[in-house]
């Protein structure tokens, strides 16, 4: 379907303008929290717009290919989904080359369009910061910071129909989780 476009941003003035959009949106987002949670929120690293040598704005042109596009006729959002898959491919490819990628979602896309000149008819899907990093963390930042804990995978996998979760039948959740990470085959029981 290829509904995507990639805008590569190196210009400092553009990054500065985008960062200012982030600050505005993040002020609103942080107002959702109070007390200790607000303090924790303010300490989180949520963008790398000006530090990253490359920023990437990834869009989805929802009318590309005309009114009848194979794969988009029944579920209209498949063009957005397809673009997300392209983002994730890029993310993993970058990671394999030792390049860190961060997705900044705390941005007003309407204002971002004006900064980058994206037409009104085109949807902004992702804004990424790319660059070499000092290290890659093993645990997700939000988990390490104590913001939120990971949901055990067994609670998210259902057998045959919704509600028949594999965790309910097993119990030794962690062992199963470990098994998945080791690429072990799950035994039937």
Q: Give the interface with a copy of itself as residue ranges (CB under 8 A).
A: 2, 4-11, 14, 25, 28-29, 32-33, 41, 44, 59, 65, 68, 70-75, 77-78, 80-81, 84-85, 87-89, 91-92, 105-109, 116-119, 122, 125-126, 142, 147-148, 150-151, 156-163
In terms of CB distance, is 105 or 133 closer to a copy of itself? 105
Dihedral (Cα; 114, 14, 57, 119), 10-degree rounding: 20
- CB of residue 75 vs a copy of itself: minimum separation in angstroms? 5
In terms of CB distance, is 4 or 49 closer to a copy of itself? 4
Evaluate whether 45 touches 122 at the Cβ level (below 8 Å): no
- CB of residue 42 vs a copy of itself: minimum separation in angstroms? 12
In terms of CB distance, is 41 or 176 closer to a copy of itself? 41
In terms of CB distance, is 52 or 118 closer to a copy of itself? 118
In terms of CB distance, is 120 or 134 closer to a copy of itself? 120
Evaluate whether 14 touches 70 at the Cβ level (below 8 Å): no
59 phi and psi angles, rounded to 5 deg: -120, 170
State how far the Cα of 185 lies from the Cα of 173, in Å rounded to an integer: 15
- CB of residue 175 vs a copy of itself: minimum separation in angstroms? 19
- Among the listed residues 156, 127, 150, 110, the one whose alpha carbon sits nearest the alpha carbon of residue 47: 127
Cα distance from N-terminal residue to C-terminal residue, the chain: 42
154 phi and psi angles, rounded to 5 deg: -65, -20
Structural element, H or E, at residue 130: strand 122-132
- CB of residue 135 vs a copy of itself: minimum separation in angstroms? 21
- CB of residue 6 vs a copy of itself: minimum separation in angstroms? 5
């Amino acid at each position: 379907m290829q509904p995507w476009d990639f805008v590569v941003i190196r210009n400092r003035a553009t990054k500065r303008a985008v960062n200012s959009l982030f600050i505005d949106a993040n002020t609103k987002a942080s107002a959702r929290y109070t007390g200790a949670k607000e303090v924790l929120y303010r300490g989180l690293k949520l963008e790398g717009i000006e530090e990253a040598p490359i920023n990437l704005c990834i869009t989805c042109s929802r009318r590309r290919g005309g009114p009848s596009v194979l794969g988009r006729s029944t579920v209209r959002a498949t063009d957005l989904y397809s673009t997300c898959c392209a983002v994730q491919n890029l993310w993993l490819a970058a990671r394999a080359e030792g390049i860190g990628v961060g997705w900044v979602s705390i941005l007003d896309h309407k204002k971002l369009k004006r900064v980058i000149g994206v037409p009104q008819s085109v949807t902004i899907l992702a804004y990424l910061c790319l660059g070499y990093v000092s290290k890659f963390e093993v645990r997700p930042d939000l988990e390490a910071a104590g913001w939120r804990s990971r949901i055990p995978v067994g609670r998210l996998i259902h057998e045959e129909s919704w509600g028949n979760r594999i965790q309910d039948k097993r119990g030794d959740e962690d062992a199963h989780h470990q098994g998945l990470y080791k690429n072990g085959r799950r035994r039937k029981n």
